Amino acid sequence: MFSDSLPARVTILGAGAWGCCLETLLREQQHQVTVWSRRYHRPLAAAIQNADVVISALSMQGVPIVAAQLKALGIPPQTLVVSATKGLNPGSYETPSQLWHQALPNNPIVVLSGPNLAAEIEAGLPAATVVASEDLAAAQRIQTLLNSERFRVYTNGDPLGTELGGTLKNIIAIAVGVCDGLNLGTNAKSALMTRALVEMTRIGVQLGAQPQTFWGLSGLGDMIATCSSALSRNYRVGYGLAQGQALGAVLAEIGSTAEGVNTAQVLVDLAGRDGIDAPIATAVAQILAGHMAPAQAIETLMSRLPRAEVLEIQRPC
Ligand SMILES: NC(=O)C1=CN([C@@H]2O[C@H](COP(=O)(O)OP(=O)(O)OC[C@H]3O[C@@H](n4cnc5c(N)ncnc54)[C@H](OP(=O)(O)O)[C@@H]3O)[C@@H](O)[C@H]2O)C=CC1
Ligand SMILES: O=C(CO)COP(=O)(O)O
Protein backbone atom coordinates (compact mmCIF):
# COMPACT_ATOMS: atom_id res chain seq x y z
CA MET A 1 0.00 0.00 0.00
CA PHE A 2 1.33 3.45 -0.90
CA SER A 3 2.12 5.91 1.83
CA ASP A 4 0.17 9.18 1.86
CA SER A 5 3.44 11.12 1.80
CA LEU A 6 4.87 9.38 -1.28
CA PRO A 7 3.94 9.68 -4.92
CA ALA A 8 1.65 6.76 -5.75
CA ARG A 9 1.87 4.59 -8.84
CA VAL A 10 -1.47 5.00 -10.58
CA THR A 11 -2.72 3.25 -13.70
CA ILE A 12 -5.65 4.82 -15.53
CA LEU A 13 -7.71 2.54 -17.78
CA GLY A 14 -9.13 4.55 -20.70
CA ALA A 15 -7.55 7.46 -22.54
CA GLY A 16 -10.75 9.35 -23.30
CA ALA A 17 -11.69 12.82 -22.08
CA TRP A 18 -12.09 11.75 -18.44
CA GLY A 19 -9.08 9.42 -18.27
CA CYS A 20 -6.80 12.15 -19.68
CA CYS A 21 -8.23 14.74 -17.30
CA LEU A 22 -7.61 12.49 -14.28
CA GLU A 23 -4.09 11.97 -15.58
CA THR A 24 -3.54 15.77 -15.56
CA LEU A 25 -4.83 16.07 -11.97
CA LEU A 26 -2.67 13.18 -10.72
CA ARG A 27 0.49 14.41 -12.46
CA GLU A 28 0.01 17.83 -10.87
CA GLN A 29 0.13 16.01 -7.52
CA GLN A 30 3.45 14.40 -8.56
CA HIS A 31 2.07 10.85 -8.81
CA GLN A 32 3.54 8.37 -11.28
CA VAL A 33 0.83 7.81 -13.86
CA THR A 34 0.46 5.17 -16.55
CA VAL A 35 -2.47 5.42 -18.95
CA TRP A 36 -3.71 2.27 -20.68
CA SER A 37 -5.95 2.26 -23.73
CA ARG A 38 -6.98 -0.55 -26.05
CA ARG A 39 -5.55 1.66 -28.80
CA TYR A 40 -2.04 1.63 -27.32
CA HIS A 41 0.39 -1.17 -28.07
CA ARG A 42 1.26 -1.69 -24.40
CA PRO A 43 -0.35 -4.85 -22.93
CA LEU A 44 -2.69 -4.41 -19.97
CA ALA A 45 -0.48 -6.69 -17.82
CA ALA A 46 2.48 -4.34 -18.21
CA ALA A 47 0.35 -1.25 -17.57
CA ILE A 48 -0.98 -2.48 -14.23
CA GLN A 49 2.27 -3.99 -12.96
CA ASN A 50 3.22 -2.47 -9.57
CA ALA A 51 0.18 -0.14 -9.56
CA ASP A 52 -0.91 1.03 -6.12
CA VAL A 53 -4.15 2.34 -7.59
CA VAL A 54 -6.05 1.39 -10.77
CA ILE A 55 -8.60 3.96 -11.97
CA SER A 56 -11.19 2.90 -14.52
CA ALA A 57 -12.22 5.83 -16.73
CA LEU A 58 -13.62 3.56 -19.41
CA SER A 59 -17.01 4.11 -20.96
CA MET A 60 -19.64 1.63 -19.75
CA GLN A 61 -19.35 -0.72 -22.69
CA GLY A 62 -15.65 -1.28 -21.96
CA VAL A 63 -16.03 -2.06 -18.24
CA PRO A 64 -17.18 -5.74 -18.36
CA ILE A 65 -14.55 -6.53 -21.00
CA VAL A 66 -11.61 -4.91 -19.22
CA ALA A 67 -12.78 -6.11 -15.77
CA ALA A 68 -12.72 -9.70 -17.09
CA GLN A 69 -9.20 -9.11 -18.47
CA LEU A 70 -8.01 -7.78 -15.13
CA LYS A 71 -9.63 -10.68 -13.28
CA ALA A 72 -7.75 -13.12 -15.51
CA LEU A 73 -4.47 -11.27 -14.91
CA GLY A 74 -5.03 -10.90 -11.17
CA ILE A 75 -3.90 -7.93 -9.10
CA PRO A 76 -2.64 -7.84 -5.49
CA PRO A 77 -5.47 -7.46 -2.93
CA GLN A 78 -4.03 -4.20 -1.58
CA THR A 79 -4.36 -2.44 -4.97
CA LEU A 80 -7.14 0.16 -4.73
CA VAL A 81 -9.60 0.15 -7.62
CA VAL A 82 -11.43 3.37 -8.46
CA SER A 83 -14.45 3.36 -10.76
CA ALA A 84 -15.12 6.67 -12.53
CA THR A 85 -17.61 5.41 -15.14
CA LYS A 86 -21.25 6.62 -15.18
CA GLY A 87 -23.51 3.93 -16.63
CA LEU A 88 -25.44 0.70 -16.13
CA ASN A 89 -24.65 -2.72 -17.57
CA PRO A 90 -27.40 -3.75 -20.03
CA GLY A 91 -29.17 -6.97 -19.07
CA SER A 92 -27.69 -7.39 -15.59
CA TYR A 93 -28.37 -3.77 -14.48
CA GLU A 94 -25.13 -3.75 -12.50
CA THR A 95 -23.31 -0.51 -11.86
CA PRO A 96 -19.67 -0.23 -12.99
CA SER A 97 -18.35 -0.58 -9.43
CA GLN A 98 -20.45 -3.71 -8.92
CA LEU A 99 -18.80 -5.20 -12.01
CA TRP A 100 -15.38 -4.32 -10.62
CA HIS A 101 -16.28 -5.84 -7.27
CA GLN A 102 -17.39 -9.09 -8.95
CA ALA A 103 -14.18 -9.28 -10.96
CA LEU A 104 -11.89 -8.31 -8.07
CA PRO A 105 -13.73 -9.29 -4.84
CA ASN A 106 -10.63 -8.93 -2.65
CA ASN A 107 -9.76 -5.38 -3.67
CA PRO A 108 -11.16 -2.22 -2.08
CA ILE A 109 -13.43 -0.48 -4.61
CA VAL A 110 -13.98 3.29 -4.56
CA VAL A 111 -16.51 5.19 -6.70
CA LEU A 112 -15.49 8.62 -8.01
CA SER A 113 -18.33 10.84 -9.23
CA GLY A 114 -19.33 14.50 -9.19
CA PRO A 115 -19.91 17.64 -11.28
CA ASN A 116 -16.73 17.16 -13.31
CA LEU A 117 -16.97 18.38 -16.89
CA ALA A 118 -13.52 17.30 -18.08
CA ALA A 119 -13.00 20.27 -20.41
CA GLU A 120 -13.41 22.77 -17.55
CA ILE A 121 -10.99 20.89 -15.31
CA GLU A 122 -8.46 20.60 -18.15
CA ALA A 123 -8.79 24.38 -18.57
CA GLY A 124 -7.64 24.79 -14.95
CA LEU A 125 -11.02 25.76 -13.48
CA PRO A 126 -11.83 24.66 -9.90
CA ALA A 127 -14.12 21.70 -9.22
CA ALA A 128 -15.18 19.29 -6.49
CA THR A 129 -15.93 15.60 -6.50
CA VAL A 130 -16.91 12.68 -4.27
CA VAL A 131 -15.04 9.44 -3.56
CA ALA A 132 -17.33 6.86 -1.99
CA SER A 133 -16.74 3.41 -0.62
CA GLU A 134 -17.95 0.98 2.00
CA ASP A 135 -14.26 0.92 2.95
CA LEU A 136 -13.85 4.43 4.38
CA ALA A 137 -10.07 4.09 4.70
CA ALA A 138 -9.86 3.32 0.97
CA ALA A 139 -12.00 6.39 0.13
CA GLN A 140 -9.77 8.55 2.36
CA ARG A 141 -6.63 7.31 0.57
CA ILE A 142 -8.12 8.30 -2.80
CA GLN A 143 -9.14 11.66 -1.29
CA THR A 144 -5.52 12.25 -0.24
CA LEU A 145 -4.28 11.09 -3.63
CA LEU A 146 -6.44 13.48 -5.68
CA ASN A 147 -7.32 16.44 -3.46
CA SER A 148 -5.73 19.73 -4.46
CA GLU A 149 -6.37 23.46 -4.34
CA ARG A 150 -8.29 23.21 -7.58
CA PHE A 151 -9.92 19.79 -7.17
CA ARG A 152 -11.67 19.42 -3.82
CA VAL A 153 -12.44 15.80 -2.95
CA TYR A 154 -15.12 14.77 -0.43
CA THR A 155 -15.57 11.25 0.97
CA ASN A 156 -18.94 9.51 1.22
CA GLY A 157 -20.02 6.13 2.62
CA ASP A 158 -22.76 5.48 0.03
CA PRO A 159 -21.01 4.22 -3.12
CA LEU A 160 -24.26 3.05 -4.73
CA GLY A 161 -25.99 6.42 -4.33
CA THR A 162 -22.87 8.28 -5.45
CA GLU A 163 -22.61 6.14 -8.56
CA LEU A 164 -26.33 6.24 -9.39
CA GLY A 165 -26.42 10.05 -9.10
CA GLY A 166 -23.86 10.36 -11.90
CA THR A 167 -25.54 7.69 -13.97
CA LEU A 168 -29.12 8.92 -13.70
CA LYS A 169 -28.37 12.60 -14.25
CA ASN A 170 -27.07 11.75 -17.73
CA ILE A 171 -30.62 10.76 -18.71
CA ILE A 172 -31.98 13.94 -17.14
CA ALA A 173 -29.43 16.06 -19.04
CA ILE A 174 -30.85 14.65 -22.28
CA ALA A 175 -34.36 15.64 -21.12
CA VAL A 176 -33.19 19.16 -20.19
CA GLY A 177 -31.40 19.47 -23.53
CA VAL A 178 -34.73 18.65 -25.19
CA CYS A 179 -36.46 21.29 -23.04
CA ASP A 180 -33.92 23.96 -24.08
CA GLY A 181 -33.88 22.79 -27.70
CA LEU A 182 -37.64 23.30 -27.83
CA ASN A 183 -37.27 26.75 -26.16
CA LEU A 184 -39.68 25.83 -23.37
CA GLY A 185 -38.31 28.45 -21.00
CA THR A 186 -36.81 28.67 -17.53
CA ASN A 187 -39.94 27.66 -15.59
CA ALA A 188 -40.21 24.41 -17.54
CA LYS A 189 -36.51 23.66 -17.07
CA SER A 190 -36.72 24.31 -13.34
CA ALA A 191 -39.79 22.07 -13.00
CA LEU A 192 -38.14 19.31 -15.01
CA MET A 193 -34.92 19.35 -12.98
CA THR A 194 -36.75 19.47 -9.66
CA ARG A 195 -39.04 16.57 -10.52
CA ALA A 196 -36.06 14.73 -12.01
CA LEU A 197 -34.26 14.93 -8.66
CA VAL A 198 -37.30 13.31 -7.03
CA GLU A 199 -37.30 10.61 -9.73
CA MET A 200 -33.55 9.97 -9.36
CA THR A 201 -33.88 9.75 -5.57
CA ARG A 202 -36.91 7.42 -5.79
CA ILE A 203 -35.05 5.05 -8.13
CA GLY A 204 -31.85 5.19 -6.10
CA VAL A 205 -33.58 4.54 -2.78
CA GLN A 206 -35.51 1.58 -4.24
CA LEU A 207 -32.20 0.15 -5.39
CA GLY A 208 -30.68 0.53 -1.92
CA ALA A 209 -29.01 3.97 -1.93
CA GLN A 210 -29.33 6.69 0.73
CA PRO A 211 -31.73 9.52 -0.24
CA GLN A 212 -29.42 12.28 1.07
CA THR A 213 -26.69 11.29 -1.37
CA PHE A 214 -28.85 12.58 -4.25
CA TRP A 215 -28.90 16.07 -2.71
CA GLY A 216 -25.12 16.22 -2.73
CA LEU A 217 -22.40 16.81 -5.31
CA SER A 218 -22.79 13.46 -7.07
CA GLY A 219 -26.57 13.90 -7.46
CA LEU A 220 -27.95 17.44 -7.54
CA GLY A 221 -24.47 18.87 -8.11
CA ASP A 222 -23.75 16.78 -11.17
CA MET A 223 -27.29 17.30 -12.47
CA ILE A 224 -26.87 21.10 -12.31
CA ALA A 225 -23.49 20.96 -14.07
CA THR A 226 -24.63 18.62 -16.81
CA CYS A 227 -28.02 20.25 -17.39
CA SER A 228 -26.64 23.77 -17.63
CA SER A 229 -23.63 23.35 -19.88
CA ALA A 230 -23.26 22.97 -23.60
CA LEU A 231 -20.04 21.11 -22.73
CA SER A 232 -22.23 18.19 -21.64
CA ARG A 233 -22.55 15.59 -24.36
CA ASN A 234 -25.80 14.27 -22.92
CA TYR A 235 -27.35 17.77 -22.90
CA ARG A 236 -26.19 18.22 -26.49
CA VAL A 237 -27.90 14.98 -27.51
CA GLY A 238 -31.26 16.22 -26.18
CA TYR A 239 -30.77 19.69 -27.64
CA GLY A 240 -29.88 18.30 -31.06
CA LEU A 241 -32.84 15.92 -31.13
CA ALA A 242 -35.21 18.76 -30.20
CA GLN A 243 -33.76 20.82 -33.03
CA GLY A 244 -34.70 18.03 -35.45
CA GLN A 245 -31.30 16.36 -35.85
CA ALA A 246 -31.13 12.56 -36.11
CA LEU A 247 -29.54 10.75 -33.15
CA GLY A 248 -26.75 9.32 -35.32
CA ALA A 249 -25.88 12.77 -36.62
CA VAL A 250 -25.74 14.31 -33.13
CA LEU A 251 -23.54 11.50 -31.81
CA ALA A 252 -21.23 11.76 -34.82
CA GLU A 253 -20.89 15.51 -34.20
CA ILE A 254 -20.09 14.91 -30.50
CA GLY A 255 -17.58 12.17 -31.34
CA SER A 256 -17.32 10.69 -27.82
CA THR A 257 -19.39 8.94 -25.18
CA ALA A 258 -22.84 10.22 -24.14
CA GLU A 259 -23.66 7.49 -21.61
CA GLY A 260 -27.29 8.58 -21.12
CA VAL A 261 -28.07 7.35 -24.63
CA ASN A 262 -27.25 3.77 -23.63
CA THR A 263 -28.42 4.06 -20.02
CA ALA A 264 -31.98 5.31 -20.64
CA GLN A 265 -33.53 2.06 -21.91
CA VAL A 266 -31.55 -0.05 -19.42
CA LEU A 267 -32.91 2.10 -16.60
CA VAL A 268 -36.47 1.93 -17.94
CA ASP A 269 -36.23 -1.87 -18.10
CA LEU A 270 -34.88 -1.97 -14.54
CA ALA A 271 -37.62 0.38 -13.29
CA GLY A 272 -40.23 -1.81 -15.03
CA ARG A 273 -38.81 -4.94 -13.41
CA ASP A 274 -38.93 -3.38 -9.95
CA GLY A 275 -42.19 -1.43 -10.37
CA ILE A 276 -40.52 1.99 -9.99
CA ASP A 277 -42.25 5.02 -11.48
CA ALA A 278 -39.77 6.72 -13.87
CA PRO A 279 -41.76 8.97 -16.22
CA ILE A 280 -38.89 11.28 -17.24
CA ALA A 281 -36.48 8.44 -18.03
CA THR A 282 -39.28 6.70 -19.94
CA ALA A 283 -39.91 9.82 -22.03
CA VAL A 284 -36.18 10.11 -22.80
CA ALA A 285 -35.97 6.44 -23.81
CA GLN A 286 -38.97 6.89 -26.12
CA ILE A 287 -37.40 9.92 -27.79
CA LEU A 288 -34.04 8.15 -28.23
CA ALA A 289 -35.73 5.09 -29.74
CA GLY A 290 -37.60 7.35 -32.16
CA HIS A 291 -40.95 6.22 -30.73
CA MET A 292 -41.95 9.72 -29.71
CA ALA A 293 -41.15 13.18 -31.02
CA PRO A 294 -39.56 15.50 -28.39
CA ALA A 295 -42.60 17.82 -28.29
CA GLN A 296 -44.95 14.86 -27.89
CA ALA A 297 -42.87 13.51 -24.98
CA ILE A 298 -43.21 16.85 -23.17
CA GLU A 299 -46.97 16.78 -23.81
CA THR A 300 -47.16 13.28 -22.34
CA LEU A 301 -45.30 14.39 -19.19
CA MET A 302 -47.52 17.47 -18.80
CA SER A 303 -50.77 15.52 -19.19
CA ARG A 304 -50.07 13.01 -16.43
CA LEU A 305 -52.71 13.00 -13.71
CA PRO A 306 -52.29 15.87 -11.22
CA ARG A 307 -50.84 14.68 -7.92
CA ALA A 308 -49.50 15.80 -4.55
CA GLU A 309 -45.89 16.98 -4.49
CA VAL A 310 -44.64 14.08 -2.37
CA LEU A 311 -41.02 14.70 -1.47
CA GLU A 312 -40.44 12.04 1.19
CA ILE A 313 -38.92 9.00 -0.43
CA GLN A 314 -39.96 5.72 1.17
CA ARG A 315 -37.33 3.03 1.58
CA PRO A 316 -38.61 -0.37 0.41
CA CYS A 317 -39.67 -2.70 3.28
N1 LIG B 1 -15.86 13.50 -19.93
C2 LIG B 1 -16.32 13.89 -18.74
O3 LIG B 1 -16.44 15.09 -18.48
C4 LIG B 1 -16.65 12.88 -17.69
C5 LIG B 1 -16.93 11.56 -18.02
N6 LIG B 1 -17.27 10.68 -17.06
C7 LIG B 1 -17.59 9.29 -17.37
O8 LIG B 1 -16.36 8.61 -17.67
C9 LIG B 1 -16.60 7.60 -18.65
C10 LIG B 1 -15.65 7.84 -19.82
O11 LIG B 1 -16.01 9.10 -20.36
P12 LIG B 1 -15.08 9.86 -21.40
O13 LIG B 1 -13.64 9.66 -21.11
O14 LIG B 1 -15.58 11.24 -21.46
O15 LIG B 1 -15.45 9.09 -22.75
P16 LIG B 1 -14.60 8.96 -24.07
O17 LIG B 1 -15.55 8.53 -25.12
O18 LIG B 1 -13.80 10.18 -24.28
O19 LIG B 1 -13.60 7.76 -23.74
C20 LIG B 1 -14.07 6.46 -23.45
C21 LIG B 1 -12.91 5.57 -23.16
O22 LIG B 1 -13.38 4.22 -22.95
C23 LIG B 1 -12.65 3.35 -23.80
N24 LIG B 1 -13.42 2.17 -24.21
C25 LIG B 1 -14.68 2.14 -24.69
N26 LIG B 1 -15.03 0.88 -24.97
C27 LIG B 1 -13.97 0.09 -24.67
C28 LIG B 1 -13.72 -1.30 -24.74
N29 LIG B 1 -14.64 -2.14 -25.21
N30 LIG B 1 -12.53 -1.76 -24.34
C31 LIG B 1 -11.58 -0.91 -23.88
N32 LIG B 1 -11.76 0.43 -23.79
C33 LIG B 1 -12.94 0.92 -24.18
C34 LIG B 1 -12.32 4.21 -25.01
O35 LIG B 1 -11.30 3.62 -25.77
P36 LIG B 1 -11.11 4.10 -27.31
O37 LIG B 1 -10.56 5.48 -27.23
O38 LIG B 1 -10.16 3.09 -27.83
O39 LIG B 1 -12.46 4.04 -27.95
C40 LIG B 1 -11.90 5.49 -24.33
O41 LIG B 1 -10.60 5.39 -23.79
C42 LIG B 1 -18.07 7.70 -19.02
O43 LIG B 1 -18.79 6.74 -18.27
C44 LIG B 1 -18.46 9.11 -18.60
O45 LIG B 1 -19.83 9.20 -18.28
C46 LIG B 1 -17.28 11.04 -15.73
C47 LIG B 1 -16.99 12.32 -15.36
C48 LIG B 1 -16.67 13.35 -16.31
O1 LIG C 1 -20.42 13.50 -16.24
C2 LIG C 1 -20.09 14.56 -16.69
C3 LIG C 1 -19.91 15.76 -15.85
O4 LIG C 1 -19.90 15.45 -14.49
C5 LIG C 1 -19.90 14.71 -18.15
O6 LIG C 1 -21.14 14.92 -18.73
P7 LIG C 1 -21.39 14.45 -20.23
O8 LIG C 1 -21.05 12.98 -20.28
O9 LIG C 1 -22.83 14.74 -20.48
O10 LIG C 1 -20.48 15.25 -21.10
Which of 116, 253, 254, 262 most suits a substitution to test ligand 2, by most atoms within 8 Å of the C-beta?
116
Distance 160 CA to ligand 2 centre (A): 18
Which residues are designated catalytic? 169
Name the percent of the chain lying above pLDDT 90.
Answer: 95
ipTM exceeding the 0.85 mark? yes
Q: What is the side-by-side strand order in the sheet with 53-56?
A: 32-36, 9-13, 53-56, 80-83, 109-113, 127-132, 151-156
pLDDT band at 14 (very low <50, low <70, confident <90, very high): very high
Query: Is the pLDDT score of 17 beyond 90?
Result: yes
- Is residue 59 lining ligand 2, measured as CB closer than 6 Å? no
> Which residue's CA lies nearest to atom 2 of ligand 2?
117
Query: Is the pLDDT score of 194 beyond 70?
Result: yes
Name the percent of the chain lying above pLDDT 70.
Answer: 99
Query: Is the pLDDT score of 311 beyond 80?
Result: no
> Which residue's CA lies nearest to atom 5 of ligand 2?
117
The whole-number pLDDT of residue 315 equals 74
Residue 38 annotated in ligand binding = yes
The whole-number pLDDT of residue 1 equals 61
- Is residue 64 lining ligand 2, measured as CB closer than 6 Å? no
Distance 14 CA to ligand 1 centre (A): 6
- Is residue 129 lining ligand 1, measured as CB closer than 6 Å? no
pLDDT band at 5 (very low <50, low <70, confident <90, very high): low
The whole-number pLDDT of residue 317 equals 67
Between helix 279-288 and helix 186-206 the angle, nearest 10°, is 110
The whole-number pLDDT of residue 316 equals 72
pLDDT digits (tens, 9 = 90+) for 22-72: 999 999 999 999 999 999 989 999 999 999 999 999 999 999 999 999 999
What gap in Å lies between CA 276 and CA 70, rounded to an integer?
Answer: 34
Average pLDDT, the chain: 96
pLDDT digits (tens, 9 = 90+) for 115-163: 999 999 999 999 999 999 999 999 999 999 999 999 999 999 999 999 9
